[in-house]
Amino acid sequence: MSTILVTGGSGFIAAHSILQLLGQGHAVRTTVRNLAREPEVRAMLKAGGAADPGPRLSFFAADLTADKGWAEAAEGCDYALHVASPFPAGLPKDENELIVPARDGALRVLRAARDAGVKRVVMTSSFAAIGYGHPVRKQPFDETDWTNLDGDDLSPYTKSKTIAERAAWDFIAREGGALELSVVNPVGVLGPVLGPDFSTSIQIVKGLIDGSVPAMPKLSFGLVDVRDVADLHIRAMTDPAAKGERFLAIAGDYVWMRDIAKLLKARLGKAAARVPTRQLPNWLVFIAAMRMPELKLVLPELGKEKHATGEKAIRLLGWQPRSWEQSAVDTAESLARLDA
């Protein structure tokens, strides 16, 4: 069994990754910005069905914006999953609030991993580093695509993920030594939430169920389940075929928000009473965005079809993602259990 560093243990994807690693008998060293969150993370793992891991799980304080703590956390680790990165729901005042921790944090983790003799780091990048800044096209996006940083209307988050992943590959090429890198690029991640502080992507389902999205913009998303994203990280960690590769994580192809709403209506009964059925014309979203700045983020994506494929992970790593429908229903049911 191995010892694995998982950065940002308080996060949605990280907590599910820790659950699976512990379930497979590994030891996990995880970082949080504030050690006061340790009981919360342990409670999330318990909610996810983990037995008490005892000394197989340990916590270290480390922030992506500072050097302190990373060397200690990486000590004695065989592998690392670098999952932590800022993923806020709204727009920051300055894009560097996201770009700097994403890029410099990834470099801190890679440096600490290399110096500790870690064999491979699996970094959580994003479809944000693949599919933005391009003209609309029919051809599916895959791992050979990179977001065009000179493209129009890139969000600070999109820039942060693209710049951080580019910096990670450059680091490995220039000064990585024996350290290997694999990257997972998920689309929107759904699936069972384990605690009340859930990821921004859960809003896709939560906003439809709680009525805060009264009518739908014509938006499409790729979706994938958090359990399958965690599983893909773990496959990419040890499979020789994953060395030096990126893996786009998507279940099937993109779906329209309207299809997600229809599914929730059909499957959730009364709990879906507030799920909207109306789709907003694009011009109305443009007008609404004049009053609601957060809507500006979606304007460039209105009506765009973004085909993408996870075929590489399926072919090379034997990955088998569950359907987006299952994932969306499980998300909604977990929110209901939390009464959120």
Instruction: Indicate which residues carry an active-site annotation.
Output: 161
82: Cβ–Cβ under 8 A, 6 or more apart, which residues?
7, 106, 109, 110, 113, 121, 122, 123, 124
When binding is defined by CB under 6 A, the residue of 63, 72, 97, 245 that contacts ligand NAP is 63
Distance set, CA 92 to CA 83, 89, 132, 163, 173 (Å): 20, 9, 19, 17, 31
Please report whether residue 191 would count as binding ligand NAP according to CB under 6 A: no
Task: Tell me whether residue 133 or residue 281 sits nearer to ligand NAP (CB atom).
Answer: 133
Please report whether residue 206 would count as binding ligand NAP according to CB under 6 A: no
78: Cβ–Cβ under 8 A, 6 or more apart, which residues?
2, 3, 4, 118, 119
When binding is defined by CB under 6 A, the residue of 6, 22, 77, 86 that contacts ligand NAP is 86
When binding is defined by CB under 6 A, the residue of 108, 159, 161, 227 that contacts ligand NAP is 161
70: Cβ–Cβ under 8 A, 6 or more apart, which residues?
31, 62, 108, 109, 111, 112
**Euclidean distance between CA atoms 133 and 179, whole angstroms:** 31
250 and 324 Cβ atoms separated by less than 8 Å = no
Task: Tell me whether residue 3 or residue 327 sits nearer to ligand NAP (CB atom).
Answer: 327
Task: Tell me whether residue 1 or residue 142 sits nearer to ligand NAP (CB atom).
Answer: 142
Please report whether residue 188 would count as binding ligand NAP according to CB under 6 A: yes
Residues 89-148 that bind ligand NAP (CB under 6 A): 101, 105, 124, 126
User: In angstroms, what is the minimal distance from the CB of 167 to ligand NAP?
Assistant: 14
When binding is defined by CB under 6 A, the residue of 12, 79, 254, 319 that contacts ligand NAP is 12
User: In angstroms, what is the minimal distance from the CB of 259 to ligand NAP?
Assistant: 18
User: In angstroms, what is the minimal distance from the CB of 200 to ligand NAP?
Assistant: 6
Any idea what DSSP says for residue 86?
Answer: -
Task: Tell me whether residue 259 or residue 281 sits nearer to ligand NAP (CB atom).
Answer: 259
Please report whether residue 13 would count as binding ligand NAP according to CB under 6 A: yes
**Cα atoms in the Cβ-side hemisphere of radius 13 Å centred on 294:** 5
Distance set, CA 242 to CA 127, 307, 311 (Å): 18, 23, 14
From 47-55, 78-86, 108-116, 173-181, give the range in contact with ligand NAP by CB under 6 A: 78-86
> Can you list the pairs that 257-262 forms with residues at least 24 positions away whose Cβ atoms lie under 8 Å?
257/204, 257/208, 257/216, 257/217, 257/218, 257/219, 257/220, 257/221, 258/216, 258/218, 260/204, 260/205, 260/208, 260/221, 260/223, 260/328, 261/208, 261/216
Task: Tell me whether residue 63 or residue 239 sits nearer to ligand NAP (CB atom).
Answer: 63
Please report whether residue 201 would count as binding ligand NAP according to CB under 6 A: yes
Please report whether residue 87 would count as binding ligand NAP according to CB under 6 A: yes
Q: Which amino acid is at 233?
A: H
When binding is defined by CB under 6 A, the residue of 2, 20, 33, 272 that contacts ligand NAP is 33
**Euclidean distance between CA atoms 234 and 286, whole angstroms:** 42
Task: Tell me whether residue 33 or residue 288 sits nearer to ligand NAP (CB atom).
Answer: 33
Residue closest to ligand NAP when measured from CB atoms: 11
The gap from C-alpha 71 to its chain's centroid, in whole angstroms, comes to 24
Q: Give strand pairing partners of 121.
A: 80, 181
Task: Tell me whether residue 53 or residue 86 sits nearer to ligand NAP (CB atom).
Answer: 86
When binding is defined by CB under 6 A, the residue of 28, 73, 80, 84 that contacts ligand NAP is 84
Residues forming contacts to ligand NAP in the complex (CB under 6 A) are 8, 10-14, 32-33, 63-65, 83-87, 101, 105, 124, 126, 161, 186, 188-189, 199, 201
